[in-house]
Amino acid sequence: MGDGGDGRLGGGGGHRYRARPRRGGDGRCGACERRRRTRVAPAGLERSAAVSDRIELRGIRVWGRHGANPGEKDRPQPFDLDLMLEVDLSAAERSDMLADTIDYDALHRGVVRIVQTRSFDLLERLAGEIAALALRDARVCRASISIAKPRLLDGTTPVVTLERVR
Protein backbone atom coordinates (compact mmCIF):
# COMPACT_ATOMS: atom_id res chain seq x y z
CA MET A 1 0.00 0.00 0.00
CA GLY A 2 3.01 2.28 -0.13
CA ASP A 3 3.00 2.61 3.61
CA GLY A 4 6.70 2.22 4.32
CA GLY A 5 6.18 -1.22 5.88
CA ASP A 6 5.03 0.03 9.25
CA GLY A 7 1.28 -0.30 8.69
CA ARG A 8 0.61 3.44 8.60
CA LEU A 9 -0.75 5.33 5.63
CA GLY A 10 1.98 7.85 4.90
CA GLY A 11 4.97 6.03 6.34
CA GLY A 12 6.48 6.17 9.77
CA GLY A 13 8.53 9.32 9.98
CA GLY A 14 10.29 8.18 13.13
CA HIS A 15 7.20 7.07 14.99
CA ARG A 16 7.12 3.47 16.12
CA TYR A 17 4.22 1.42 14.84
CA ARG A 18 2.15 -0.25 17.53
CA ALA A 19 0.30 -3.40 16.59
CA ARG A 20 -2.45 -2.32 18.97
CA PRO A 21 -3.22 1.26 19.93
CA ARG A 22 -2.93 2.36 23.52
CA ARG A 23 -6.30 2.26 25.17
CA GLY A 24 -7.68 3.75 28.32
CA GLY A 25 -9.61 1.77 30.90
CA ASP A 26 -12.77 2.20 28.87
CA GLY A 27 -11.20 0.55 25.79
CA ARG A 28 -11.02 3.73 23.71
CA CYS A 29 -8.14 4.49 21.40
CA GLY A 30 -5.60 6.75 23.13
CA ALA A 31 -5.56 9.22 20.23
CA CYS A 32 -9.35 9.49 20.35
CA GLU A 33 -9.25 10.05 24.09
CA ARG A 34 -6.59 12.77 23.76
CA ARG A 35 -8.75 14.53 21.18
CA ARG A 36 -11.68 14.59 23.60
CA ARG A 37 -9.61 16.61 26.08
CA THR A 38 -9.08 20.33 25.67
CA ARG A 39 -5.79 21.27 24.04
CA VAL A 40 -4.11 24.48 23.00
CA ALA A 41 -4.07 25.43 19.33
CA PRO A 42 -0.92 26.98 17.81
CA ALA A 43 -2.29 30.53 17.98
CA GLY A 44 -2.86 30.14 21.71
CA LEU A 45 -6.57 29.53 21.25
CA GLU A 46 -8.07 26.67 23.17
CA ARG A 47 -9.51 23.84 21.13
CA SER A 48 -12.55 22.40 22.81
CA ALA A 49 -13.15 18.70 23.24
CA ALA A 50 -15.92 19.04 20.64
CA VAL A 51 -13.38 19.80 17.90
CA SER A 52 -12.84 16.78 15.70
CA ASP A 53 -9.97 16.45 13.26
CA ARG A 54 -10.93 14.76 10.02
CA ILE A 55 -9.48 13.82 6.69
CA GLU A 56 -12.02 13.38 3.93
CA LEU A 57 -11.80 12.08 0.40
CA ARG A 58 -14.95 13.07 -1.46
CA GLY A 59 -16.30 12.19 -4.86
CA ILE A 60 -14.10 9.19 -5.59
CA ARG A 61 -15.45 7.67 -8.83
CA VAL A 62 -14.29 4.09 -9.39
CA TRP A 63 -15.54 1.43 -11.78
CA GLY A 64 -15.97 -2.05 -10.35
CA ARG A 65 -17.96 -5.28 -10.50
CA HIS A 66 -20.18 -5.50 -7.44
CA GLY A 67 -23.81 -6.50 -7.06
CA ALA A 68 -26.17 -9.25 -5.93
CA ASN A 69 -28.56 -9.24 -8.88
CA PRO A 70 -28.03 -11.17 -12.12
CA GLY A 71 -25.90 -9.27 -14.61
CA GLU A 72 -24.56 -6.66 -12.17
CA LYS A 73 -21.05 -8.13 -12.27
CA ASP A 74 -21.00 -8.74 -16.04
CA ARG A 75 -19.31 -5.42 -16.78
CA PRO A 76 -17.81 -2.64 -14.67
CA GLN A 77 -20.18 0.01 -13.37
CA PRO A 78 -19.51 3.27 -11.51
CA PHE A 79 -19.36 3.60 -7.75
CA ASP A 80 -19.12 6.97 -6.02
CA LEU A 81 -17.40 6.98 -2.65
CA ASP A 82 -16.91 9.46 0.16
CA LEU A 83 -14.50 8.59 2.94
CA MET A 84 -14.08 10.37 6.26
CA LEU A 85 -11.40 9.49 8.79
CA GLU A 86 -11.28 10.88 12.29
CA VAL A 87 -7.64 11.21 13.23
CA ASP A 88 -5.62 13.42 15.54
CA LEU A 89 -3.97 15.93 13.21
CA SER A 90 -2.19 17.95 15.89
CA ALA A 91 1.24 16.43 15.13
CA ALA A 92 0.92 17.27 11.41
CA GLU A 93 -0.37 20.72 12.31
CA ARG A 94 2.84 21.36 14.26
CA SER A 95 5.37 19.56 12.06
CA ASP A 96 4.09 20.20 8.51
CA MET A 97 5.39 16.71 7.63
CA LEU A 98 3.54 14.10 5.57
CA ALA A 99 4.74 11.36 7.92
CA ASP A 100 2.59 12.89 10.69
CA THR A 101 -0.68 12.60 8.78
CA ILE A 102 -2.55 10.25 6.48
CA ASP A 103 -1.16 10.13 2.95
CA TYR A 104 -4.22 10.92 0.80
CA ASP A 105 -2.60 9.43 -2.28
CA ALA A 106 -1.84 6.09 -0.59
CA LEU A 107 -5.34 5.97 0.87
CA HIS A 108 -6.93 6.80 -2.49
CA ARG A 109 -4.86 4.14 -4.27
CA GLY A 110 -5.88 1.54 -1.68
CA VAL A 111 -9.58 2.37 -2.04
CA VAL A 112 -9.39 2.24 -5.85
CA ARG A 113 -7.53 -1.07 -5.72
CA ILE A 114 -10.23 -2.66 -3.54
CA VAL A 115 -13.11 -1.45 -5.72
CA GLN A 116 -11.43 -2.42 -9.00
CA THR A 117 -9.86 -5.76 -8.09
CA ARG A 118 -12.32 -7.31 -5.64
CA SER A 119 -15.93 -8.29 -6.25
CA PHE A 120 -18.71 -8.41 -3.65
CA ASP A 121 -22.44 -8.94 -3.77
CA LEU A 122 -23.21 -6.19 -1.26
CA LEU A 123 -22.09 -2.58 -0.95
CA GLU A 124 -22.03 -3.20 2.81
CA ARG A 125 -19.22 -5.73 2.37
CA LEU A 126 -17.32 -3.42 0.02
CA ALA A 127 -17.62 -0.59 2.56
CA GLY A 128 -16.39 -2.93 5.30
CA GLU A 129 -13.27 -3.79 3.33
CA ILE A 130 -12.52 -0.10 2.80
CA ALA A 131 -13.09 0.63 6.50
CA ALA A 132 -10.67 -2.17 7.40
CA LEU A 133 -8.07 -0.61 5.09
CA ALA A 134 -8.45 2.78 6.76
CA LEU A 135 -8.36 1.35 10.28
CA ARG A 136 -5.06 -0.44 9.62
CA ASP A 137 -3.46 2.88 10.49
CA ALA A 138 -3.52 2.96 14.30
CA ARG A 139 -3.94 6.75 14.26
CA VAL A 140 -7.41 6.46 12.70
CA CYS A 141 -10.07 6.42 15.43
CA ARG A 142 -13.16 6.39 13.23
CA ALA A 143 -13.83 5.66 9.57
CA SER A 144 -17.03 6.51 7.71
CA ILE A 145 -17.53 5.25 4.17
CA SER A 146 -20.45 6.09 1.87
CA ILE A 147 -20.80 4.19 -1.39
CA ALA A 148 -23.35 5.15 -4.03
CA LYS A 149 -24.30 3.02 -7.01
CA PRO A 150 -25.68 5.69 -9.38
CA ARG A 151 -26.83 3.55 -12.30
CA LEU A 152 -28.66 0.81 -10.39
CA LEU A 153 -32.21 2.18 -10.04
CA ASP A 154 -34.21 4.58 -12.18
CA GLY A 155 -34.97 7.83 -10.39
CA THR A 156 -32.87 7.20 -7.28
CA THR A 157 -29.35 6.34 -6.20
CA PRO A 158 -28.86 3.78 -3.43
CA VAL A 159 -26.18 4.73 -0.92
CA VAL A 160 -24.72 2.61 1.85
CA THR A 161 -22.91 4.39 4.68
CA LEU A 162 -20.87 2.37 7.12
CA GLU A 163 -19.13 3.80 10.18
CA ARG A 164 -16.55 1.94 12.22
CA VAL A 165 -14.97 3.14 15.45
CA ARG A 166 -11.75 1.79 16.90
Residue 159 lies in a domain: yes
Residue 7 lies in a domain: no
Domain hosting 61: range is 30-165
Q: How far apart are CA 21 and CA 165, in angstroms?
A: 13
Residue 124 lies in a domain: yes
* Res 151: pLDDT: 85
* Res 166: pLDDT: 86
* Res 16: pLDDT: 43
Catalytic residue from among 149, 157, 161, 166: 149
* Res 121: pLDDT: 97
Helix, strand, coil tally for the chain in percent (to 5): 25, 30, 45
* Average pLDDT per 10 consecutive residues for the chain, totaling 166 residues: 55 46 54 52 51 91 96 95 96 95 96 98 98 96 97 92 95
Residue 12 lies in a domain: no
CB-CB contact of 114 with 129 (8 Å): yes
- Is residue 73 annotated as a catalytic residue, yes or no? no
Residue 10 lies in a domain: no
The alpha helices in the chain, defined as continuous H runs, are: 30-36, 90-95, 104-117, 123-135
Residue 13 lies in a domain: no
* Res 114: pLDDT: 99
Q: How many domains does the chain have?
A: 1
Residue 11 lies in a domain: no
* Res 57: pLDDT: 98
* Res 33: pLDDT: 57
Q: How far apart are CA 60 and CA 23, in angstroms?
A: 32
The CATH number that applies at residue 119 is: 3.30.1130.10
Residue 83 lies in a domain: yes
